[in-house]
A and B are shown apart, each in its own frame.
Chain A
Amino acid sequence: MVGSLLLRGMLVGILAGVLAFGFARVFGEPSVERAIAFEEASGGHSHGEAAPAPGQGGATDAHSHGPGAAPHSHTADAHAADAHAPDAHAPGEHAAQTGAAPAEPELFSRATQSGPGLLVALVVYGAAMGGLFALVFAYVNGRLGPLSPRATAALLALAAFIALVLVPGLKYPANPPAVGDGATIGLRTRLFFLMLATSVAALAGAVVLARRLMARHGAWTGALLAALGYGVVLALVGLALPTVNEVPAGFSADLLWQFRLAALGLQAVLWAVIGLGFGAWMELGARPHVRPALGR
């Protein structure tokens, strides 16, 4: 039973990943390309700001200085590269001496990254989220009051979108290439997953709370009070955690908005397909076993 639910969730998740890929190609990739163009054109500028602290190892910075300063800056860059030798991007920095060339070695072409790479990333993400969705569904189905499986699936996907994407994204939104200092990736990753874990834990707490409050105060009041509790907890955590703003000077505000909107839309497509697709499949599969309604 659980195995078949898990399989369904992962298959629906793969479908969701494919559809999200279509969305990302149309609405997301133009922003990624523009952001990479900005990154490559202004690599020298952004490195100039990071230069006083060579040990920080800007992984994405093109180490380009003015042509006149080339012999001097080459030595400086050699030291900088030594200071963060484990950085896989370091060898590429020498190639960027002459101008606006990308600092990263070309492991995969842009066509691969925006095609098969993006597809694989979204399908794996979709399958994994679909599978986790199915496991949570297997637990909550029948335990959330008088909800049909289809309604449970839709509600669960909506909750997942809010708690996994929307709310953590308000504090730590998706960032296009060129936004984000390579030196702070460790801190940003910890903060991102801390926010994610807090949100999921608060959601679970809110559901437990909602069940008790609904028994006492009725469905609407109980659910709204629990939702308010989730909102207050996340607002306080969001205020307590440090804010990260690493948007480089001169980065297009419109481009940042377009990118973040596309990232949000991609997740909306993904979770809508998972929740509605899984729910529809549950109803199809369950129909022969459904007993006539007895009223409640």
Chain B
Amino acid sequence: MAHDTLTLSAATAGARPAPIPVGELLPWAVFGGLMLLLALYFVGAEQGATALFSGSAVHEFVHDGRHLLGFPCH
């Protein structure tokens, strides 16, 4: 098979990938998703409206990012 057939098929509608079965996806989605949402929480909301840790160190450290990312900051 010619090389340009490959690139063409990858770039256009021909190469429809096989879907990943939901059963294989689910554990990753649950545990990975939970970890990633926790990370977002610390950047976006910790020590704002709610706080897992006392003080304001997390809030103050990510202060500029929180404003520029559009989260309600204070």
Which of B16, B49, B74 lies in contact with A60, CB distance below 8 A?
Answer: B74
A243 within 8 A of B: no
Smallest CB gap from B71: residue in A:
A192
Given A125-B43, A135-B29, A189-B48, CB of A89 within 8 Å of CB of B56: yes
Contact between chains at B16 and A147 (CB < 8 Å): yes
Count of A interface residues, CB-CB < 8 Å: 75
On whether the beta carbons of A135 and B33 are closer than 8 Å, the reply is yes
B68 CB within 8 Å of chain A = yes
Q: Which of the residues A117, A120, A180, A267 comes within 8 Å of B69, measured between beta carbons? A: A267
Interface string of A120-151 (1 = CB under 8 A from B): 11101101110110010011011101111110
> Across the interface, which residues of B come within 8 angstroms of A188, CB to CB?
49, 72
- Is there an interface contact between A146 and B13, defined as CB atoms closer than 8 Å? yes
Task: Name A290's contact: one of B15, B24, B42, B49 (CB within 8 Å).
Answer: B15
User: How far does the alpha carbon of A141 sit from the alpha carbon of B19 in the complex, in Å?
Assistant: 6
Inter-chain residue pair count (beta carbon < 8 A) = 205
Closest chain A residue to B2, Cβ basis: A292
Q: Which of A59, A293, A294 contacts B12 (CB 8 A)?
A: A293
Q: Which residue of A lies closest to B19 (CB)?
A: A142
Contact pick for B56, options A88, A114, A294, CB 8 Å: A88
| Size class of the contact patch on chain B | 35 or more
Inter-chain contact B67/A295, CB cutoff 8 Å:
no
* Chain B residues within an 8 Å CB radius of A148: 10-13, 15-17
- A29-B9 in contact (CB<8A): no
Q: Are B74 and A124 in contact (CB under 8 A)?
A: no
- Assess whether B39 is in contact with A124, with CB atoms less than 8 Å apart: yes
Please provide the chain A residues from 1 to 15 with a CB less than 8 Å away from any CB of chain B in the complex. 1-3, 6
B42 to chain A, nearest CB (A): 7
25 residue pairs bridging A and B, Cβ less than 8 Å apart: A2-B24, A24-B65, A88-B55, A108-B57, A108-B61, A128-B39, A132-B33, A132-B36, A135-B25, A135-B28, A138-B20, A138-B28, A139-B22, A145-B16, A172-B72, A174-B68, A180-B72, A185-B48, A185-B74, A186-B49, A286-B17, A287-B7, A287-B10, A290-B10, A293-B9
B contacts, CB < 8 Å to A: 1, 5-20, 22, 24-25, 28-29, 32-33, 35-37, 39-40, 42-45, 48-50, 54-57, 60-74
Q: Which residues of A contact B (CB under 8 A)?
A: 1-3, 6, 24, 28-29, 32, 59-60, 88-89, 104, 107-108, 112-114, 117-118, 120-122, 124-125, 127-129, 131-132, 135, 138-139, 141-143, 145-150, 165, 168-169, 172-177, 180, 182, 185-186, 188-190, 192-193, 259, 262-263, 266-267, 283, 286-287, 290-296
